[in-house]
Amino acid sequence: MLEKVRGRLGEEGYRKLSEIRNKRLHRLIEEYIELCNPSKVFVCDDSPRCEEYIREQAIRKGEERKLSIKGHTVHFDGYNDQARDKRGTMFLIPKDIESDSSLNAIDRDEGLREIRGIIENIMEGKELIIKFFCLGPVDSEFSIPAAQLTDSAYVAHSEGLLYRPGYEQFRKIGESERFFFLVHSAGELEKGVSKNIDGRRVYIDMKENIVYSANTQYGGNTIGLKKLSMRLAIHLASHEGWLTEHMLVMGAHGPNDRVTYLLGAFPSMCGKTSTSMMPGETIVGDDIAYLRKMDGELRAVNVERGVFGVIGGINSRDDPIIYQVLTHPGEIIFSNILVNETGEAYWVGKNGRIPTKGFNHSGEWFLGKLDSEGVEIPPSHPNARFTFDMKLLPNIDSRIDDPQGVEVGGIIYGGRDSHTSVPVMEAFNWEHGILIMGASLESETTAATLGKSGVRKLDPMSNHDFLSIPLSRYIWNYLDFGKGLRYVPKIFAVNYFLRDFEGNPLTDKVAKRVWLKWMELRVHEDVEAIKTPVGLIPRYEDLKPLFKKVVNQGFKEEAYAEIFTIRVPENLSRIERVKEFYREKVLNTPEALLKALEEQEKRLEKAREEYGYYITPEKFI
């Protein structure tokens, strides 16, 4: 094996691969080297010398440019290649396998013919980089090895910051075929960006656990270990009895040096990264988690070790920890931000004045520049990002690499909701939380995906876009997962975006720190809560001292009454939208979900008859 490509591997590359004794891996590498036809191949064994070579190649090829602060570089994606391509991301499913019609799928044989035709000779004249990673902590029950083939040094560099090295893990797995395999090519480049966007494809083969990505550079389409491998892992977890989730993992610090580990699921640009990095708390991970039941406990790990976060709006007041990292020396890749004349990075929302000119995703930029449709181009793209290893964070949790994971005390679901949900609420129990807060999670769309922003969209568990199994089965998996736990984590819903009826924000961004502290206290039953038709909400007498202690702000009872008013018409409308979605778009919707929605509806109707359409908290005391 590998003899056909030994010349392109070189003796050092051949030796590195030969030390991994896995016939399937060798077969796949040989097959795709021959198909993609690179002129040479670089095999990374996770040594510092290899990592430095990849950084140098990213600069030499023009995929990244150095900025004025040491260690900072910037990458620009093509103008039409700056978000996840939902339409072009498809599952390859055999004709004889029944699949959920909501999955964006193509016949496996047809899809393989198409993608193989697209990537045939796509790397001609280029260098292929082969890197190995471990999803989850190494030497752990949670671990999944993954091998990445890419002709983009930027992608390889990004993954080196985001994921744990896995070369040694592959040397340990022997002939096991339980690993993910990823093939990516940016395709033909023009001015350093992918040219043939019409040929952009992201195909996921769950039968072989392979991801294909072609003619794209944006991280969400190319960093195969992220949401693309997440789809593979969801499928694998469903068969093996665990969960793969679009969730942060963090340590919330309570009284007497207590640390309570919380998970949180938020759609993109809804506060997930900022929640995971709250001042005074510690972060395990900000995006993807694997969940397992171990000795009767729900335990979780961060699949990654770095952050690929949205940068818009980050400033020293609202996000002091991230801002400190982004403005000081360290290995950071910025993408699609503005670079001014002196090589400084600027993004919308950063401290200081907006530069009047510079270079951004549109090329040379100046204040007031318009695109081809006459729309003003902002200094940084709404989906501009940053990538760094979490070791740069001062608040990294000491258990980030714990092979046993961390024990979970609570799960948070949060979306972008301007008019319905209160800022923080606790579910009555596991089933109520999973069905009403998780499976019924609704959020307003953002710039993180292609399409129109501001549209209400149901996003179950903030994971709907990434599901590789039928949604009905996914919900059943969750309900079953809660059984047999010695301690069942509490489930919460948060909403950082509530507005009054004139459209004005009702809470300051820093208030999320208070909601988090309240949830930590509720996990341990240190404070009581008020039962409403939709869930348990905080008492004023508990929030007032928290506001003073946590953010040094007063909290008036009038403000409490306004933001925790139960808006009955809006909640009823939301239930109707959720029921319509599950009736029309989901096969075999669990009866438990429909029943939970009906029960919530009845509670709201009863409250409306007693107290009216908008009910302040004291009515429920």
179: domain CATH number is 3.40.449.10
With 0-12 / 13-18 / 19 or more C-beta atoms within 10 angstroms meaning exposed / middle / buried, residue 550 is buried
Tell me: do 529 and 612 sit in the same domain.
yes
Q: What are phi and psi of 586, to 5 degrees?
A: -125, 125
H/E stretch holding 306 reads strand 306-310
Residue 501 contacts residue 512 (beta carbons within 8 Å): no
- Cα(559)–Cα(314) distance, integer angstroms: 26
CATH value at residue 319: 2.170.8.10
Q: Is residue 530 part of a domain?
A: yes
Which residues are tagged catalytic? 270
- Is residue 321 domain-shared with residue 271, that is, in the same domain? no
- In this prediction, residue 515 carries a pLDDT of 98
**Do 11 and 142 sit in the same domain of this protein?**
yes
Helix, coil or strand: residue 20: coil
164 with 46, same domain: the answer is yes
Last residue of a domain, one of 372, 391, 410: 391
Q: Are 519 and 262 in contact (CB under 8 A)?
A: yes
Burial, 545: exposed, middle or buried (Cβ in 10 Å; 0-12, 13-18, 19+)? exposed
| Cα(300)–Cα(249) distance, integer angstroms | 8
Same domain? For 92 and 187 the reply is: yes
The pLDDT, as a whole number, for residue 448 is: 46
Q: How far is the CA of 519 from the CAs of 412, 427, 493, 525, 566, in angstroms?
A: 9, 11, 10, 10, 19
Instruction: Let me know if residue 137 belongs to a domain.
Output: yes
Within this chain, do residues 101 and 112 fall inside the same structural domain, yes or no?
Answer: yes
Residues 247-281 as b/e (b if ≥16 CB within 10 A, e otherwise) read bbbbbbbbeeeebbbbbbbbbbbbbbbbbbbbeeb
Which string of DSSP letters, residue by residue, matches 452-490?
Answer: -SS-EEE-GGG-GGG--S-HHHHHHHHHHHTTT-SSPPE
Residues 317 and 299 in one domain: no
For residue 72, is it within any domain? no
**Region of residue 20 (phi > 0: left; psi between -120 and 50: alpha; otherwise: beta):** beta
Here the CATH number for the domain that contains residue 279 is 3.90.228.20
* 67 in a structural domain: no
Asked if residues 399 and 250 have their Cβ atoms less than 8 Å apart, the reply is no
Answer yes or no: do 54 and 99 share one domain: yes
Number of structural domains found in the chain:
3
Asked if residue 71 belongs to a domain, the reply is: no
520 and 600 share one domain: yes
Q: Which of residues 241, 270, 289 is at a domain's end?
A: 241
Q: What is the DSSP letter of 32?
A: H
Tell me, yes or no, whether 326 and 411 share the same domain.
no
490 lies in the same domain as 600: yes
Amino acid 268: pLDDT: 75
**331 part of a folded domain:** yes
Instruction: Name which of 385, 593, 432, 419 is nearest 498 in CA terms.
Output: 419
> Range of 336's domain?
308-391
Strand ranges (E), 177-305: 180-185, 189-190, 193-194, 201-205, 210-214, 243-245, 248-253, 259-265, 282-285, 289-294, 297-302
Does 237 share its domain with 251? Answer: no
DSSP state for residue 354 in the 8-state scheme? P
Compute CA distances 294 → 285, 290, 384, 475, 534, whole Å: 20, 12, 38, 21, 31
Q: Is residue 600 part of a domain?
A: yes
**Which of 346, 367, 391 is the C-terminal boundary of a domain?**
391
Say which amino acid occupies 604: L
At residue 97, the 3 state secondary structure works out as coil
Which stretches of the chain score pLDDT less than 70?
96-102, 445-454
Q: Is residue 74 part of a domain?
A: no
The predicted pLDDT at position 102 comes to 67
* In contact, 74 and 334? CB cutoff 8 Å: yes
